[in-house]
Amino acid sequence: MADRISKPVSQRQLRVGEMIKQALSMIFIRNEAKVPNLETNTITVTEVRMSQDLKIAKAYVMPLGGKNADETILKLKEYSYLVRKILSKKIFMKFLPKLLFRKDESFEYAEKIENLIKQTNKENA
């Protein structure tokens, strides 16, 4: 397991990840996945990270404004087979990767860093 972490991300992983990100974005915008009780057109796909063997795709998503993010992620995890089925019609690969949905916390992290910088600047002024 430690080998996977230390290996750099290949160009192929990046290309496939970007291709899946764009396809998922279009699926969500057009509300094609038909996930029950979920308006997918408010979901933003910020990044897709591929495993070394391209069999697992971790999709980092965030609903508009971050509202009900945890519920949205749970719903996407529960109905990932529906999303994957639609994705299989958009992308042609030898093995369609398993989709894992994760909440994108990069915006929260960036905001936290920004607030720390502002706080430090006030203290030094």
pLDDT in tens, 105-116: 877 777 778 778
Strand arrangement of the beta sheet that strand 56-63 belongs to: 43-50, 56-63, 98-103
| Structural domains in the chain (count) | 1
Domain that holds residue 71: 2-124
Residue 85's contacts (CB-CB under 8 Å, 6 or more residues apart) are none
Residue 34's contacts (CB-CB under 8 Å, 6 or more residues apart) are 82
| Cα distance between residue 42 and residue 62, in whole Å | 9
Chain centroid offset of residue 64 CA: 14
pLDDT in tens, 55-72: 999 999 988 877 788 888
The CATH number of whichever domain residue 105 belongs to comes to 3.30.300.20
pLDDT in tens, 21-59: 999 999 999 988 888 888 888 888 999 999 999 999 999
Determine which of 94-98, 102-106, 109-113 has the lowest per-residue pLDDT on average.
Answer: 109-113
Question: What backbone phi and psi angles, to 5 degrees, belong to 86?
Answer: -65, -40
Full-model pTM? 0.78
pLDDT surpasses 50 at 14: yes
